[in-house]
């Protein structure tokens, strides 16, 4: 049985990050859209001016906006302190928690990533399971990332709990959330397949294939045929189509 670690390493690739809603290095606008930060809320700073930013003088929203631009430009190390400062100012800022969690996931700091992502999930669930809108989309994505973070640490049971949380949701009506939802089912299928639960993996892959045959049928076929390349090809072949 192959190792999930080889699979989730590919999440650091631009295609895989875009497919899961992670910021794209070449697209600050796309990254801002993922976090829900409007362009009007983000200070207009050229790269040289980022070095002169005084975090204490900025709001959590401004800090998040600059962080997203930095991440999108490949300056992750500069972004992380700003995200941490945003959370000092507002510990309950869900978007900052989510972006810091996903950024740490990309860096391979899985334990700390899981902590931030699980905080997002707990805060959202405090008001009940979301059913629509931006909160639902953030919930779906952070559940996927938290699942991956746990699996990468060898905490497979905990990771599956996070991934299965997405599968228990009602299929979203909003197009973007729907795409993330079925991506979540495929990620769950890949994790189950990797653990030897082929029948369950096939069941989830079939749901995704029924939603979008052109996109998911090949993964279903790989899963049904017991191909060792199923998980690796799954993540590596993703493309942005939304």
pLDDT at residue 242 greater than cutoff 90: no
The confidence score (pLDDT) of residue 52 equals 66
The confidence score (pLDDT) of residue 73 equals 85
Q: CA distances (Å), 124 to each of 25, 92, 97, 138, 195, in order?
A: 28, 10, 12, 9, 29
Helix, strand, or coil (residue 38): coil
The confidence score (pLDDT) of residue 33 equals 40
As a whole number of angstroms, the distance between CA 1 and CA 178 comes to 30
Confidence of residue 7 (pLDDT cuts 50, 70, 90): very low
| Mean pLDDT along residues 38-66 | 69
Half-sphere exposure of residue 117, counting CA atoms within 13 Å on the CB side? 29
Query: Residue 226 CB: number of other CB atoms within 10 A?
Result: 10
| Mean pLDDT along residues 182-196 | 91
Confidence of residue 26 (pLDDT cuts 50, 70, 90): very low
Cα angle 26, 30, 33; round to 5: 155
The confidence score (pLDDT) of residue 28 equals 36
The confidence score (pLDDT) of residue 223 equals 87
pLDDT digits (tens, 9 = 90+) for 68-103: 988 888 889 999 999 999 999 999 999 999 999 999
**Phi/psi at 234 (5° precision):** -55, -55
The confidence score (pLDDT) of residue 231 equals 61
Residue 48 and residue 36 in contact, taking contact as beta carbons nearer than 8 Å: no
Confidence of residue 47 (pLDDT cuts 50, 70, 90): low
Cβ contacts of 46 within 8 Å, gap of 6 or more = none
Helix residue ranges per DSSP H, the chain: 4-8, 14-19, 28-35, 47-50, 60-72, 76-89, 94-106, 110-125, 133-152, 156-167, 175-194, 198-211, 213-224, 230-236
Cα angle 120, 134, 238; round to 5: 85
Residue 105 and residue 11 in contact, taking contact as beta carbons nearer than 8 Å: yes
| Mean pLDDT along residues 113-130 | 95
Per the model's pLDDT, the better-predicted residue between 176 and 8 turns out to be 176
The confidence score (pLDDT) of residue 234 equals 41
Q: Which among 127, 123, 124, 103 is positioned nearest to 113, based on CA atoms?
A: 103
The β-bridge partners of 90 are none
The confidence score (pLDDT) of residue 227 equals 77
Domains of the chain: 4-171 (1.25.40.10)
The confidence score (pLDDT) of residue 237 equals 38
Q: List own/partner pairs for 48-53 with CB under 8 A and 24 or more apart.
A: 50/75, 50/78, 51/78, 53/82
The confidence score (pLDDT) of residue 116 equals 97
């Amino acid at each position: 049985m192959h190792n999930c670690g080889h699979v989730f390493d590919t999440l650091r690739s631009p295609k895989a990050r875009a497919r899961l809603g992670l910021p794209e290095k070449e697209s600050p606008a796309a990254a801002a859209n993922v976090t829900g930060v409007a362009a009007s809320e983000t200070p207009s700073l050229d790269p040289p001016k980022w070095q002169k930013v005084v975090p204490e003088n900025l709001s959590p929203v401004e800090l998040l906006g600059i962080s997203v631009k930095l991440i999108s430009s490949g300056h992750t190390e500069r972004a992380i302190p700003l995200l941490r400062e945003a959370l000092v100012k507002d510990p309950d800022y869900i978007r900052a928690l989510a972006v810091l969690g996903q950024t740490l996931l990309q860096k391979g700091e899985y334990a700390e990533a899981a902590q931030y992502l699980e905080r997002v999930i707990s805060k959202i669930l405090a008001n009940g399971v979301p059913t629509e809108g931006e909160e639902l989309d953030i919930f779906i994505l952070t559940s996927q990332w938290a699942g991956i973070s746990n699996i990468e640490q060898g905490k497979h049971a905990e990771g599956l709990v996070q991934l299965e949380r997405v599968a228990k949701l009602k299929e979203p009506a909003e197009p973007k959330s729907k795409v993330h939802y079925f991506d979540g089912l495929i990620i769950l299928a890949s994790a189950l397949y990797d653990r030897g639960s082929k029948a369950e993996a096939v069941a989830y892959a079939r749901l995704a294939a029924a939603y979008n045959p052109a996109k998911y049928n090949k993964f279903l076929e790989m899963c049904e045929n017991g191909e060792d390349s199923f998980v690796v090809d799954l993540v590596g072949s993703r493309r942005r189509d939304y």
